[in-house]
Amino acid sequence: MASMIANNVCEIIVRDLQKLSAELNAFQSEENIWKVEGCISNSSGNLALHLCGNLQHFIGAVLGNSGYIRNRDAEFSQKNIARADLIEEINKTIEAVKHAMSTLTDQDLYKEYPIDKWSQRSTKAFFLLHLTAHLAYHTGQINYLRRALEK
Protein backbone atom coordinates (compact mmCIF):
# COMPACT_ATOMS: atom_id res chain seq x y z
CA MET A 1 0.00 0.00 0.00
CA ALA A 2 1.32 3.45 -0.92
CA SER A 3 2.50 5.63 1.92
CA MET A 4 0.30 8.48 3.11
CA ILE A 5 3.42 10.62 3.42
CA ALA A 6 4.52 9.74 -0.12
CA ASN A 7 1.03 10.59 -1.34
CA ASN A 8 1.21 13.97 0.43
CA VAL A 9 4.65 14.75 -1.00
CA CYS A 10 3.42 13.69 -4.44
CA GLU A 11 0.41 16.00 -4.12
CA ILE A 12 2.70 18.94 -3.29
CA ILE A 13 5.09 18.18 -6.16
CA VAL A 14 2.22 17.85 -8.64
CA ARG A 15 0.67 21.10 -7.33
CA ASP A 16 3.97 22.92 -7.76
CA LEU A 17 4.56 21.46 -11.23
CA GLN A 18 1.11 22.74 -12.18
CA LYS A 19 2.17 26.12 -10.76
CA LEU A 20 5.29 25.90 -12.96
CA SER A 21 3.02 25.43 -15.99
CA ALA A 22 0.93 28.40 -14.89
CA GLU A 23 4.07 30.54 -14.55
CA LEU A 24 5.18 29.67 -18.08
CA ASN A 25 1.68 30.38 -19.39
CA ALA A 26 1.68 33.74 -17.57
CA PHE A 27 4.49 35.07 -19.77
CA GLN A 28 2.89 37.64 -22.07
CA SER A 29 5.68 37.14 -24.58
CA GLU A 30 6.82 33.57 -25.19
CA GLU A 31 10.30 34.78 -26.13
CA ASN A 32 10.73 36.16 -22.59
CA ILE A 33 10.75 32.57 -21.29
CA TRP A 34 14.29 32.38 -22.70
CA LYS A 35 15.56 35.80 -21.57
CA VAL A 36 17.60 36.71 -18.53
CA GLU A 37 18.18 40.05 -16.86
CA GLY A 38 21.14 41.57 -15.08
CA CYS A 39 23.30 39.02 -13.32
CA ILE A 40 20.69 36.26 -13.65
CA SER A 41 22.27 33.51 -15.72
CA ASN A 42 19.43 30.98 -16.14
CA SER A 43 16.28 31.70 -18.13
CA SER A 44 12.88 30.54 -16.98
CA GLY A 45 12.87 28.01 -19.81
CA ASN A 46 16.16 26.53 -18.68
CA LEU A 47 15.00 26.40 -15.07
CA ALA A 48 11.82 24.60 -16.18
CA LEU A 49 13.89 22.07 -18.15
CA HIS A 50 16.16 21.65 -15.12
CA LEU A 51 13.24 21.00 -12.79
CA CYS A 52 11.73 18.43 -15.15
CA GLY A 53 15.06 16.68 -15.69
CA ASN A 54 15.77 16.69 -11.97
CA LEU A 55 12.43 15.17 -10.98
CA GLN A 56 12.24 12.71 -13.87
CA HIS A 57 15.71 11.49 -12.92
CA PHE A 58 15.67 11.43 -9.12
CA ILE A 59 12.04 10.32 -8.72
CA GLY A 60 10.95 8.86 -12.07
CA ALA A 61 14.09 6.89 -12.96
CA VAL A 62 15.72 6.22 -9.59
CA LEU A 63 12.57 5.44 -7.57
CA GLY A 64 10.15 4.51 -10.34
CA ASN A 65 12.46 2.72 -12.79
CA SER A 66 11.05 4.79 -15.69
CA GLY A 67 14.17 4.44 -17.81
CA TYR A 68 14.53 8.21 -18.14
CA ILE A 69 18.06 9.24 -19.10
CA ARG A 70 19.01 12.69 -17.85
CA ASN A 71 21.09 15.16 -19.83
CA ARG A 72 21.72 17.86 -17.20
CA ASP A 73 23.94 19.94 -19.51
CA ALA A 74 21.11 20.18 -22.06
CA GLU A 75 18.77 21.47 -19.35
CA PHE A 76 20.88 24.63 -19.30
CA SER A 77 22.09 24.80 -22.91
CA GLN A 78 18.88 24.25 -24.89
CA LYS A 79 17.13 27.44 -25.96
CA ASN A 80 13.92 28.61 -27.62
CA ILE A 81 11.86 25.49 -27.06
CA ALA A 82 8.19 26.26 -27.65
CA ARG A 83 6.11 26.95 -24.54
CA ALA A 84 3.75 24.11 -25.53
CA ASP A 85 6.69 21.69 -25.57
CA LEU A 86 7.81 22.86 -22.13
CA ILE A 87 4.29 22.33 -20.80
CA GLU A 88 4.27 18.84 -22.34
CA GLU A 89 7.56 18.07 -20.56
CA ILE A 90 6.02 19.23 -17.28
CA ASN A 91 3.05 16.93 -17.90
CA LYS A 92 5.42 14.00 -18.52
CA THR A 93 7.17 14.86 -15.29
CA ILE A 94 3.87 14.86 -13.40
CA GLU A 95 3.06 11.39 -14.71
CA ALA A 96 6.54 10.06 -13.84
CA VAL A 97 6.30 11.47 -10.31
CA LYS A 98 2.78 10.09 -9.77
CA HIS A 99 3.82 6.63 -10.92
CA ALA A 100 6.99 6.44 -8.85
CA MET A 101 5.45 7.88 -5.71
CA SER A 102 2.49 5.48 -5.87
CA THR A 103 4.89 2.57 -5.38
CA LEU A 104 6.44 3.80 -2.13
CA THR A 105 5.46 2.38 1.24
CA ASP A 106 6.07 3.94 4.65
CA GLN A 107 8.94 1.49 5.14
CA ASP A 108 10.49 2.55 1.81
CA LEU A 109 10.70 6.18 2.91
CA TYR A 110 13.06 5.33 5.74
CA LYS A 111 15.38 3.30 3.55
CA GLU A 112 18.51 4.85 2.14
CA TYR A 113 18.13 6.80 -1.11
CA PRO A 114 20.17 4.77 -3.62
CA ILE A 115 22.31 7.67 -4.86
CA ASP A 116 25.01 9.36 -2.82
CA LYS A 117 24.35 13.12 -3.17
CA TRP A 118 26.59 15.84 -1.74
CA SER A 119 28.99 13.14 -0.52
CA GLN A 120 26.49 11.92 2.05
CA ARG A 121 23.75 9.33 2.30
CA SER A 122 20.16 10.19 3.16
CA THR A 123 16.80 8.51 3.47
CA LYS A 124 14.33 8.55 0.62
CA ALA A 125 12.06 10.73 2.78
CA PHE A 126 14.79 13.33 3.28
CA PHE A 127 15.67 13.37 -0.40
CA LEU A 128 12.02 13.74 -1.46
CA LEU A 129 11.67 16.71 0.87
CA HIS A 130 14.81 18.20 -0.65
CA LEU A 131 13.39 17.76 -4.17
CA THR A 132 10.13 19.41 -3.11
CA ALA A 133 11.97 22.45 -1.73
CA HIS A 134 14.19 22.61 -4.85
CA LEU A 135 11.09 22.71 -7.07
CA ALA A 136 9.52 25.51 -5.02
CA TYR A 137 12.78 27.50 -4.97
CA HIS A 138 13.23 27.53 -8.74
CA THR A 139 9.52 28.09 -9.43
CA GLY A 140 9.78 31.21 -7.27
CA GLN A 141 12.78 32.33 -9.29
CA ILE A 142 10.77 31.89 -12.49
CA ASN A 143 7.92 33.96 -11.07
CA TYR A 144 10.29 36.75 -10.06
CA LEU A 145 12.12 36.73 -13.40
CA ARG A 146 8.84 36.84 -15.32
CA ARG A 147 7.69 39.89 -13.38
CA ALA A 148 11.08 41.60 -13.81
CA LEU A 149 11.10 41.02 -17.58
CA GLU A 150 7.47 42.00 -18.17
CA LYS A 151 7.19 45.12 -16.00
Instruction: Give the pLDDT confidence of 12-61 residue by residue, as tens digits.
Output: 999 999 999 999 999 999 999 999 998 999 999 999 999 999 999 999 99
Secondary structure class of 104 (helix, strand, coil): coil
Instruction: Give the pLDDT confidence of 106-145 residue by residue, as tens digits.
Output: 999 999 999 987 778 899 999 999 999 999 999 999 999 9
Instruction: Give the pLDDT confidence of 41-55 residue by residue, as tens digits.
Output: 999 999 999 999 999
pLDDT score of 143: 97
Q: Is the pLDDT of residue 1 over 70?
A: no
pTM value?
Answer: 0.96
What domains sit in the chain, N to C, each tagged with a CATH number?
A: 4-149 (1.20.120.450)
Q: Does residue 74 contact residue 99 with C-beta atoms inside 8 Å?
A: no
Q: Please list the residues that pair with 112 across neighbouring strands.
A: 123
